[in-house]
A and B are shown apart, each in its own frame.
Chain A
Amino acid sequence: MIEVKNLYKYYHMPRKKFFSKETSIKAVNGVSFTLRKGETFGLVGESGSGKSTTGEIIVQLIKQTSGQVLYKGKDVSKFNALQLKVWRRKVQIVFQDPYASLNPKKTVQWILREPLIIHKIGNRREQDKRIIDMLHDVGLDESFLKRYPHELSGGQRQRVVIAAALILHPEFVVIDEGVSALDVSVQAQILNLLKALQKKYRLTYLFISHDLNVVQYFCDRIAVMYLGEIVEMGTVSDLDEPKHPYTKALFSSIPTRDVNTSETVLSGEVPSASAIPEGCPFHTRCPFVQERCKHEKPVKHELTTEHTVRCHLYD
């Protein structure tokens, strides 16, 4: 349904001295994947890996430096204002902090009505009905209409944010760390709700998260990002047996109940995105590093039609 092709996003840093070379931060560095209708596609990685930037480019909150986002074969970055408005009805984004996404001075009813007014949907009576239906869908009721965000608990706020995202009946929703700020008990409620709504409205999710437990539970396919690149991608069961050294390290870093787990702790930290190592970006931390990894960039290998990995070990 949505195809992302060779996406790049560079941020240019101001020069420190007049003659110094211009530096740039490579936030997204050649990302390609496709989203299929009705699936949940997970994007994981550590902070600074470019997963949020990718999500924001897809909904065109920011423009890419180069590359394309194709919706039904059309490039969304070339849309004119009118086409963009139609596109915005079809894609929505849910952010991490529900409190920051809701206007504190407006009631829940106003928040849910605003998108309907902007897109000129229905008269007031029809809008009211749609708002109430939506509230029921997310597990709230009419008594919330006149409340303000500060009167709601964290879980209720996130429900309102989801309601606001879905009120235009989008096809595609980007969930950027949408459950990360919640307690586990509330997180479970919201995850169940998202699954139920996905079934009801045939939604496609791009689920961005750093919480690997949640991603492994919730997604159909997963892409693992490191320094702006997808290093491994596959179905969730493919990723149960990760192939890329980074994915292996990442998944084995999840703290588990088993205290005696081997200590495959990744040493060091993610290098800065303004100084991405030459060759394979992971070679500075990789336990299986070879000489060629330092100079030669690994290409994408298809292990199966679904499962791809970018590493010299699979040459």
Chain B
Amino acid sequence: MVEPILDVKDLDVSFTFPDGQYKAIDSLSFTVHSNEVVGIVGESGCGKTLTSLAIMGMLPDNASITNGSICFRHKRHLVSLSEKEWQSIRGRAISMIFQEPMTALNPVYPVGKQISEVLIKHTKQSRKAIKEQTIQLMKQVGLPRAEALYHSYPHQLSGGMRQRIVIAMALIGEPDLIIADEPTTALDVTIQSQIIQLFRKLKQEKKVSMLFISHDWGVLSQVCDRVLVLYAGQLVETGPISRLVDEPLHPYTKGLIRSIPDRAKRGEPLYTIPGRVPPLKERHRGCPFYDRCRERMEICRTVRPKTVNIKEQMVQCHLYTEEMDVPSS
């Protein structure tokens, strides 16, 4: 088997508060292979963004990695890097795209300048070459009239164009891994589908590997190969996207998929997951989903379920055991 680009093993991320330490991410393990797009889903507060920040080494001051390892291209252990070493990785080897492009761009510089700034940082070229390359990049991400747009300021562009600029900036270092945190959420549907097409094109032509965070199963289906379902900082289920959508195993995944409104469900009440994600300080020993689960058993309250492989899926739930081949609906 080919070595994965990113290998996260037993990762714990904890927040330190005056009254103690609380685990926000709890023994998380996953891999991203070359030219693979891996999605992360879950409700807010489940640790999606925190996971990506941990990989980028940009955790907030009161959070730290307390256990586990993050291996990047199987040699570098990202957990113990110095700030200087980080600088050679961020932007060049791993880059990130955020949800709101307006906050990711500097409002007082023209966008072309902001893109070339990254190029100057990462390559040694003449000014002219850099400008040409910048315009080339802007064309690649589908920006019309790139020469004219080079001199515009972020506020003069629409949301979709800004997101394309941010994507262009993320592509500059030809990174091995791109982390995209809800990159289409703030956009209108017609623009969203343009950006999705762009991501698919990048995957096909530039062979990028991506970690794609989203809460929209439709978007995930369009771009991802595999999906991780996070709940309260734990990986509760993972598998190929089509399997997860068609035959989710974990009660949480089932709930997420069944609560999406669409025209087929017209007239009937929507399925809901009762309650909410437990706050950081109220998480208990057993299954994290115990309080909200409709299929819970006594064992779930006290014992944390093991990860079970069923076909291509992996699920962390007491309903399933290793011998089971066909899931009991």
Residues in chain A within 8 A of chain B (CB atoms): 46-47, 153-155, 183-189, 191-192, 195, 210, 212-214, 216-218, 236, 240, 249-250, 253-259, 263, 265-267, 269-270
Residue of B at shortest CB range from A218?
Answer: B261
**Residues in A neighbouring B242, C-beta threshold 8 A:** 257
CA distance A253 to B43 in the complex (A): 24
Do B259 and A185 touch (CB < 8 A)? Answer: yes
Q: Give 8 CB contacts A-B under 8 Å.
A: A46-B190, A188-B271, A192-B270, A213-B218, A257-B221, A259-B221, A269-B160, A269-B161
Q: How far is the CA of A186 from the CA of B271 in the complex (A)?
A: 10
Taking the closest CB of chain B, its distance from the CB of A11, in whole angstroms, is 18
Q: How far is the CA of A184 from the CA of B266 in the complex (A)?
A: 16
Most buried by B among A240, A255, A266: A255
Count of chain A to chain B residue pairs whose CB atoms are closer than 8 Å in the complex: 108
Select one of A46, A154, A210, A213 contacting B261, CB under 8 A: A213
Among B93-101, B193-201, B293-301, B311-319, the stretch that binds chain A is B193-201
B191 contacts A by Cβ under 8 Å: yes
- State the main secondary structure of chain B at its contact with A: helix
B284 within 8 A of A: no
The docked-state distance in angstroms from the alpha carbon of A13 to that of B276 is 46
Q: Does B44 contact A (CB under 8 A)?
A: yes
Given A188-B259, A188-B271, A255-B219, verify A269-B276 contact (CB < 8 Å). Answer: no
Chain B residue total in the interface (Cβ 8 A): 39
Q: Is the CB of B44 within 8 A of A184?
A: no
Top 7 A-B pairs ranked by shortest CB distance?
A: A255-B218, A217-B261, A188-B259, A188-B270, A46-B188, A216-B263, A253-B193
Q: Give A185's nearest chain B residue, CB to CB.
A: B273
In the complex with contacts A191-B261, A217-B261, A217-B266, A254-B218 CB distance below 8 A: yes
- Expressed in whole angstroms, the Cα–Cα distance for A249 and B193 within the complex equals 10
Measured in the bound complex, the distance between the Cα atoms of B161 and A293 in whole Å is 27
- Measured in the bound complex, the distance between the Cα atoms of B319 and A74 in whole Å is 62
Residues of B within 8 A of A184 (CB): 43, 215, 256, 259-260
Q: Could you tell me if B197 and A210 are in contact, using CB atoms closer than 8 angstroms?
A: no
The distance in angstroms between the C-alpha atoms of A253 and B221, with both chains bound, is: 13
